[in-house]
Amino acid sequence: MRDNVKGGALTEVTFFILLALYEPKHGYGIMQFVEKETGGRLNLGAGSLYGAINSLQEKRWISPVNDSDSDGTVRKKEYMITEAGKKVAESELIRLKQLIITASNIMKGEEK
């Protein structure tokens, strides 16, 4: 995964996975969220998604949540964004907002 934490730039897929996990979701739920929120522009395959999930867990940006019910019945593994992941997502949002402001100013001829 090519996320540049120092420069603050995340891949679009990573950003959307983090956004998806502000509420616990299993893999298929993440795929559905990304497709819905991007109007079908981004479609994640299972291999790509689970590779990203592994990478995000290694970075401690997401973590699995309890994968069994109170009676011990195992259900699909769900993931949730961590506090560290929220900080990364929030930084990306700030970066994207600044990008839009800069681009808008340039396109309007208000370059600094």
Is domain 12-107 given the CATH code 1.10.10.10 in the classification? yes
Domain ranges, ordered by start, for the chain? 12-107
- Please state, in angstroms and rounded to a whole number, the distance separating the CA atoms of residues 65 and 24: 7
Task: Give residue-wise pLDDT tens across range 44-57.
Answer: 999 999 999 999 99
**Residue 39 tokens, joined:** 């109007």
Q: How confident is the model at residue 2 (pLDDT cuts 50, 70, 90)?
A: low
- Return the higher-pLDDT residue of 11 and 4: 11
Average of per-residue pLDDT values in the chain: 89
- Please state, in angstroms and rounded to a whole number, the distance separating the CA atoms of residues 26 and 112: 45
Least confident span in 38-52, 64-78, 95-109: 64-78
The residues near 2 (Cβ < 8 Å, ≥ 6 apart) are 11
Task: Give residue-wise pLDDT tens across range 80-92.
Answer: 999 999 999 999 9
Looking at the predicted structure, is the pLDDT value of residue 67 above 80?
no
Q: How many residues would you count in the chain?
A: 112
